[in-house]
Structure 1
Amino acid sequence: MAFRTDLDLDLEERCRLLDEWVETRREIAALEAKASGLLVQRLRVREADASEHPFHRDAIHRSMIAEYAAAGRVSTGSVEYAFTDARTVSRSLPATRAAFEAGAISVGHVREIVRASVIVSDAIDDGTVAPETMGLFEAAVLVVAERETAARTKAHARQVAATLAGVSLLARQRRAMEERSVQVRSVGDGLSLLTAVLPEWVAEGIADRLTRMAHQIARTRDERAPHLPSHDDREQSRDLHDFTPDDAQYEAYFTGGVIFGESGTFTTDPHAGLLRDPMTDPASPDIAHLDADTDIDTRTIDQIRADVLADLLLAATPSPENGTGLENITARIQVTIAATTLVGADDRPAHLDGHGPLAPEIARRLAGHHTGWTRLFLDPTGLVTETDTYTPTEPMRRFLRARDQHCRFPGCRTPTHRCDIDHTHDHARGGRTRTDNLSHLCRRHHALKHPDITDTHRWTAHQRPDGTITWTSPLGRTYTDPPPRRVMFT
């Protein structure tokens, strides 16, 4: 006779809640598909109204959008997107519609598929690819969408679209380059929003360099003494004789910065930023940098990134207050390009790993300025099987970066350069240091399988020779994460 323990009952309850949550999510996706279908029906009504009153077509459309936005308590922009997605799915993406109605993909997946499908649609309209290409696009994308997150689906869908409609895509990217810009908008309370529209590879490089600098500053802030500008620097120094009491700059420089003694003697307060004007000198110690009572740097990573961005734009190099060692940090991105494209034999798009297609001329320029790069060998399915390099530098790490592209926990998109390389089977327990026992994990997911976590909460992982990792949760459920494949059509 079998006895049921409290642990068995607790495990059953956790499994029941998980199963119900997953089923509810599927039902929500199916209801979202139903809502999308209702929007398609409403579009038919709008077309009938516009046919009857052609001169008021725009007003009819605006009125429809406004009414749905008001009734749904959502923005008009969101309603516009919802109608556009519904129309595109209904007209051009039947397989996506079927998966949506079955609850196999969410509204987030549909949104990313629709956005990427525009590239293929434009190529069909231009006559550069056949109409049936859209069906091939859907089939290739849904294989990933039905088992991955919307974020991973986005990168895959863009890669598929670039492969199928490369010429049209490159034309779109080159036209879009003309839209790069910088704008400033006040958001109140003394803050402004600085927006830069840049090529994707440039923006990713900027974000990477700022993040690495911010982490360097955070790591070393306890080791740094406060930076005080030299009083001997006559170019930057100020003297009482330089100003008269009625000078507008007198108070800005000396109020709170001078300690007066007897008989007209005085000295400067080294913590008052006397020798620099905080309103005009980007290298001056910012009040946000230091805790008012302890002079300890208490900034968050986001705040440090913002401060370093300002330093780099205003002064070309980070100010001394941020510490040393930052000038040697350069931006990192990972690009994959076919050998034939690299030598100029064709103009197929390259791939900005983890993001999407990249114009071949940009990839060639990046390769020309880089001292070392890696050659990848793919199997017929597009899986990286081997790599060599023109320079003898960490071949196993290069292989893993090329294979994994991001954290290998299911659904995670953290890029490899922000991950740790982990032994799937712990090295301390006999795990070998070889590529089929190594993978990239971000700190958050690396910690899930750490030995110091109790068995009731610890995850385990098993890696197959092809790089596929099967994760087992504390509930005994398994989740498989195959290595990302490069998109190839033969």
Structure 2
Amino acid sequence: MTRRTDLDLDMEERCRLLDDWVDVRRQIAVLEAQASELLVQRIAVHDADVADSPFHRDAIYRSMIAEYAAAGHLPTGSAEYAFTDARTLSVDLPGVRAAFRAGAITVRHVREIVRASGIVGEAVRNKHVDAGTLTLFEQAVLEVAEHDTPARTRTHARQVAAALVPETIVERHRRAASERCVSVRSVDDGLALLTAVLPEALAVAIADRLTRMARHIVRSRNGDGQAQERAAALDSAVESGSPGDTTTVIFGQDDTFTTDPHAGLPDPAAEDADTGADRDALSDERTLDQIRADLLTDLLLASAPSETLGTGLGTIQARIQVTVAATTLTGTDHRPAELDGHGPLDPDIARSLAGRNTGWSRLFLDPTGLVTQTDTYTPTEPMRRFLRARDQHCRFPGCRMPVHRCDIDHTHDHALGGRTRTDNLSHLCRTHHTLKHPDIHDRHRWTAHQGPGGDVTWTSPLGRTYTDPHDDESCSSDAPLGLG
């Protein structure tokens, strides 16, 4: 008879807690679905009131929203969204409604699906596509929503909508571009919120350039010895929502790294600095967010960054990644391009970017022409291009960190015999990369396995497996072009 150890009992307790948490989350989704069904019933009452008094339609609607917002202690906008979602589920998305009732998806999934479905619903109502297109949309979106996060569901749903009704997507984007604006609103304590509504490609490029310039400043203020690791640590903390985390990382050769045991201790170089400029640089304790805000102010008011913010910033250009089929680029068709990690992009904008930019790389994924393996530790540039196109983001389930902020990791450790092959490489952000490091105790370390098709399956310390599927679209042989 096998004797159960304390370790076995501890593992069972951890598994029980995880299973109970997942079950409660499912029950919460079921209750949210029940609340949505009650709103559907209330909508029927609303429609009957409108039928009796059509001239008071707006007042009837506003009164209903206000009452539910007050009773539920919700902002008016949240109550309105809830009614919109309930109506859309009851009219256009019966499959999503059923999945919601079963607790297979959460209210956040529903919100993202409903938002993306509006484009398809508009195309159906305008008779640009037949009614069955909504069913196709539901089926395709639920394949991801039932197994992935709301954030990934949002991106996937927008991609599906763009594929089903590309003409409507382009028309909406061009119409929305006329709504670009800038506004200012006071938020008290001497601060104000500056809001710019811009075409998405421009907004993403602006944010990226500010981030890269801020990282340059962090590198400059910390000196060559701590440059890359401090900037990457700050950037990773901001991306993960923990800007107060200042863990330092030390980088070695071939993309290897470890945490700095001296992080947070006084810097001798700072104590010995004897020039005013050095003292100013070393005393700069701003966070990455604060530096980005200061850079934005300088760029807009002075047209160029001031010298006090660091040198060499003028050469840093904005970077976005766009994928567009070669047929679209040549004008053979007008399918939307893809602003990687965000969603569809007007094909005219993609063509304009291609005409002004020399950074386009052809990603023709021919099995006989693609370099899939090298004897060195570092992958070749063609392999990197393939991996960027395939992964698009960190390959830990649910993570949306874009590839240009990730490391290329050997799924099976190179030091233990793992080969530098495309089917043994994937992008991982620093946070999830460290989960599989050998210096982590077995009780907390994750392992990963990559299948022949590119799916990455992670095994947790509890023995549970979670699979991140690769993107079939990005690995097709449709010869897309990527702007990196």
The TM-score range, normalised by the shorter chain, is 0.7 to 0.9
Secondary structure of 2:184's counterpart equals strand
Partner amino acid, structure 2, of 1:363 = A
Q: Where does structure 1 lack aligned partners over 5 or more consecutive residues?
A: 225-269, 272-284
Q: Residue by residue, what CA displacement relative to the aligned partner does 1:96-153 show, whole Å, maximum 9, x if unpaired?
A: 0011111111111111110011111111122211111110111111101111100001
Provide the C-alpha distance between the structure 2 equivalents of 1:417 and 1:50, rounded to a whole number of angstroms. Answer: 53
Provide the C-alpha distance between the structure 2 equivalents of 1:385 and 1:415, rounded to a whole number of angstroms. Answer: 28
Secondary structure of 1:406's counterpart equals coil
Alignment: residue pair count: 418
Q: CA deviation at 1:342?
A: 0.6
Partner amino acid, structure 2, of 1:452 = D
> Within 5 Å, which residues of 2 pair with 1:369-448?
369-377=356-364, 394-448=381-435
Q: Residue by residue, what CA displacement relative to the aligned partner does 1:440-473 show, whole Å, maximum 9, x if unpaired?
A: 1111111111111111100000111211111000
Q: Residue by residue, what CA displacement relative to the aligned partner does 1:2-37 show, whole Å, maximum 9, x if unpaired?
A: 111111000000000000000111111111111100
Provide the C-alpha distance between the structure 2 equivalents of 1:58 and 1:174, rounded to a whole number of angstroms. Answer: 29
- State the match for 1:209 in structure 2: 209
- State the match for 1:460 in structure 2: 447
Matched, 1:83 2:70: no
Bigger Rg over Cα: 1
Secondary structure of 1:337's counterpart equals strand
Q: CA deviation at 1:316?
A: 2.0
Provide the C-alpha distance between the structure 1 equivalents of 2:335 and 2:365, rounded to a whole number of angstroms. Answer: 17
Q: CA deviation at 1:82?
A: 0.3
Provide the C-alpha distance between the structure 2 equivalents of 1:364 and 1:161, rounded to a whole number of angstroms. Answer: 21
Change (3 A) 1:363 1:133: same
- Contact (CA 8 Å) 2:363, 2:385: kept in 1 or not? no
Q: Residue by residue, what CA displacement relative to the aligned partner does 1:312-350 show, whole Å, maximum 9, x if unpaired?
A: 111222211121232222111111111111101111111
Provide the C-alpha distance between the structure 1 equivalents of 2:176 and 2:34, rounded to a whole number of angstroms. Answer: 35
| Structure 1 or 2: more helix by fraction | 2
- State the match for 2:127 in structure 1: 127
Q: Residue by residue, what CA displacement relative to the aligned partner does 1:237-288 show, whole Å, maximum 9, x if unpaired?
A: xxxxxxxxxxxxxxxxxxxxxxxxxxxxxxxxx98xxxxxxxxxxxxx9xxx
Matched, 1:330 2:332: no
Match of 2:355 among 357, 368, 373: 368
Q: Residue by residue, what CA displacement relative to the aligned partner does 1:52-83 show, whole Å, maximum 9, x if unpaired?
A: 22232222211111111111111111000000
Change (3 A) 1:387 1:322: farther
Provide the C-alpha distance between the structure 2 equivalents of 1:78 and 1:372, rounded to a whole number of angstroms. Answer: 43
Provide the C-alpha distance between the structure 2 equivalents of 1:134 and 1:454, rounded to a whole number of angstroms. Answer: 48
- State the match for 2:259 in structure 1: none
Change (3 A) 1:127 1:31: same
- State the match for 1:253 in structure 2: none
Match of 1:301 among 272, 285, 288: 288
Provide the C-alpha distance between the structure 2 equivalents of 1:374 and 1:99, rounded to a whole number of angstroms. Answer: 41
Greater CA drift, 142-151 or 331-340: 331-340
Partner amino acid, structure 2, of 1:116 = A
- Contact (CA 8 Å) 1:159, 1:357: kept in 2 or not? yes
Provide the C-alpha distance between the structure 2 equivalents of 1:457 and 1:385, rounded to a whole number of angstroms. Answer: 41
> Within 5 Å, which residues of 2 pair with 1:38-437?
38-223=38-223, 296-377=283-364, 394-437=381-424
Provide the C-alpha distance between the structure 1 equivalents of 2:359 and 2:370, rounded to a whole number of angstroms. Answer: 13
- State the match for 2:33 in structure 1: 33
Provide the C-alpha distance between the structure 1 equivalents of 2:368 and 2:121, rounded to a whole number of angstroms. Answer: 33
Identical aligned residues as a percent: 69
Change (3 A) 1:69 1:434: same
- Contact (CA 8 Å) 1:155, 1:354: kept in 2 or not? yes
Partner amino acid, structure 1, of 2:461 = P
Q: Where does structure 2 lack aligned partners over 5 or more consecutive residues?
A: 225-274, 372-379, 479-484
Q: CA deviation at 1:386?
A: 7.6
- Contact (CA 8 Å) 1:376, 1:386: kept in 2 or not? no
